[in-house]
């Protein structure tokens, strides 16, 4: 494992995003890095398609949302 130097503004964005997503700053950075790599290596897929494929490959199957009428 190594140290990655990033500018202060990006670190601040990581810190803010990590609070919203309930991740550590390092976990948020790793998430963004992995998504960036997946997006660059799969340019024809949308973000949603990439997330669906990653969840599926991890064995996760989301239940469909049921919308009730009020």
**Is 66 domain-assigned?**
no
Query: Band of the pLDDT at 70, cuts 50, 70, 90?
Result: low
**Is 45 domain-assigned?**
yes
Domain count, the chain: 1
Q: Is the pLDDT of residue 2 over 80?
A: no
**Is 49 domain-assigned?**
yes
**Is 32 domain-assigned?**
yes
Q: Which of 25, 30, 31, 27 is nearest to 12 (CA)?
A: 25
- Domain region containing 34: 25-57
Query: Band of the pLDDT at 62, cuts 50, 70, 90?
Result: confident
**Is 64 domain-assigned?**
no
Distance CA 50, CA 39 (A): 8
Q: What is the mean pLDDT of residues 2-19?
A: 91
Distance CA 49, CA 8 (A): 31
**Is 52 domain-assigned?**
yes
How many CB atoms sit inside 10 A of residue 39's CB?
A: 13
């Amino acid at each position: 494992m190594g140290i990655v130097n990033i500018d202060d503004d990006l670190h601040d964005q990581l810190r803010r995003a990590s609070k919203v997503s309930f991740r550590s700053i390092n976990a948020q950075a790793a998430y963004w890095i992995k998504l960036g790599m997946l997006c660059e290596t799969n340019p024809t897929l949308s973000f949603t398609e990439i997330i669906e494929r990653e969840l599926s490959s991890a064995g996760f199957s989301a239940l469909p949302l049921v919308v009730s009428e009020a």
